[in-house]
């Protein structure tokens, strides 16, 4: 069973990294564009038709190693969201039968660890929003992210300390609310 969980995690992690919803950078062949280079594709084709300039579509090259580490924050953040939400669902299921204690703890720890990594990669990406109209959203997103990390680690502590275990569900509820708010503002920034 552990091997199955590990295999599922590796598959999800790999899929997230390779297929994260990021805009791919293109490496354009320098011979495919002329003086209409700054124009959008549709405008470029219109300009080409009126000026007899041949415009070929851009050629895209994907450099896998660069793509894996580009916008790493956007690729990592999906894991804490999924782990916290899944942990909360298992917490609710655990009210009936106390069989998911270990699962909840593992999900919370994974969420806590990857949240910290997401925080640091997010700080690296934050500079892209400096002096833009979305700069203020970065601050809100960051503050919610910090609160989410704190509450996730507090949830882990509540799961580990016997007298506090009966209150862990409350902390998990707060963690879900915070991570959804963090993700909401992150989604606005990403799109």
pLDDT (mean) for 88-113 = 95
8 Å CB contact between 119 and 79: no
**Do 152 and 84 touch, CB atoms closer than 8 A?**
yes
In this structure, is residue 11 part of a structural domain?
no
The domain in which residue 32 lies consists of: 23-70
User: Do 135 and 181 fall within a single domain?
Assistant: yes
Residue-wise pLDDT for 38-77, tens only, equals 445 555 555 555 666 666 677 777 777 667 667 789 889 9
Tell me: do 65 and 83 sit in the same domain.
no
48 & 59 share domain: yes
78 plus 90 within the same structural domain: yes
Q: Do 64 and 77 fall within a single domain?
A: no
Mean pLDDT of 79-104: 95
In a domain, 82, yes or no: yes
Rounded-to-5 percentages of helix, strand, coil across the chain: 75, 0, 25
| Residue 144, in any domain of the structure | yes
What is the radius of gyration, based on Cα positions, of the chain? 22
Residue 75: name the closest of 113, 38, 121 by CA. Answer: 121
CA distances to 34, 90, 92, 93, 99 from 96, in Å: 68, 10, 8, 6, 9
Domain C-terminal end among 14, 40, 70 = 70
Which of 20-24, 83-87, 149-153 has the weakest average pLDDT? 20-24
Q: What proportion of the chain, given as a percentage, has pLDDT over 70?
A: 69
Indicate the DSSP class of residue 139: H
Is the pLDDT at 129 greater than 60? The verdict is yes
pLDDT band for 32, please (50, 70, 90 cuts).
very low
33 or 102, higher pLDDT: 102
Tens of pLDDT, residues 147-179? 999 999 999 999 999 999 999 999 999 999 999
Question: Which of 70, 103, 130 is a domain's end point?
Answer: 70
CB half-sphere exposure, 42, CA atoms < 13 A: 0
> Are 102 and 131 contained in the same domain?
yes
174 and 90 share one domain: yes
- Domain membership of residue 9 (yes or no) is no
Whether residue 107 is contained in a domain is answered as yes
- Looking at the fold, whether 64 and 83 belong to one and the same domain comes out as no
Q: Is residue 34 part of a domain?
A: yes
Domain count for the chain: 2
Q: What is the pLDDT of residue 54?
A: 65
User: What integer pLDDT is reported at residue 56 of this predicted model?
Assistant: 67
66 and 132 both lie in a single domain: no
Please tell me whether residues 59 and 131 are part of one structural domain: no
């Amino acid at each position: 069973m552990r091997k199955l969980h590990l295999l599922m995690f590796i598959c999800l992690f790999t899929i997230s990294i390779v297929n994260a919803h990021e805009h791919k950078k293109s490496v354009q062949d320098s011979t495919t564009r002329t003086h209409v280079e700054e124009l959008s594709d549709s405008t470029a084709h219109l300009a080409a038709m009126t000026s007899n300039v041949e415009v070929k579509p851009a050629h895209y090259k994907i450099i896998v190693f660069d793509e894996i580490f580009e916008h790493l924050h956007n690729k990592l953040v999906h894991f804490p969201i999924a782990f916290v939400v899944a942990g909360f669902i298992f917490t609710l299921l655990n009210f009936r039968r106390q069989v998911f204690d270990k699962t909840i703890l593992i999900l919370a720890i994974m969420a806590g660890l990857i949240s910290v990594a997401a925080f640091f990669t997010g700080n690296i990406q934050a500079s892209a929003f400096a002096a833009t109209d979305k700069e203020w959203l970065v601050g809100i997103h960051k503050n919610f992210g910090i609160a989410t990390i704190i509450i996730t680690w507090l949830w882990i502590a509540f799961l580990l300390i016997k007298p506090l275990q009966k209150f862990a569900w409350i902390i998990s509820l707060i963690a879900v609310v915070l991570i959804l708010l963090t993700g909401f503002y992150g989604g606005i920034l990403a799109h």
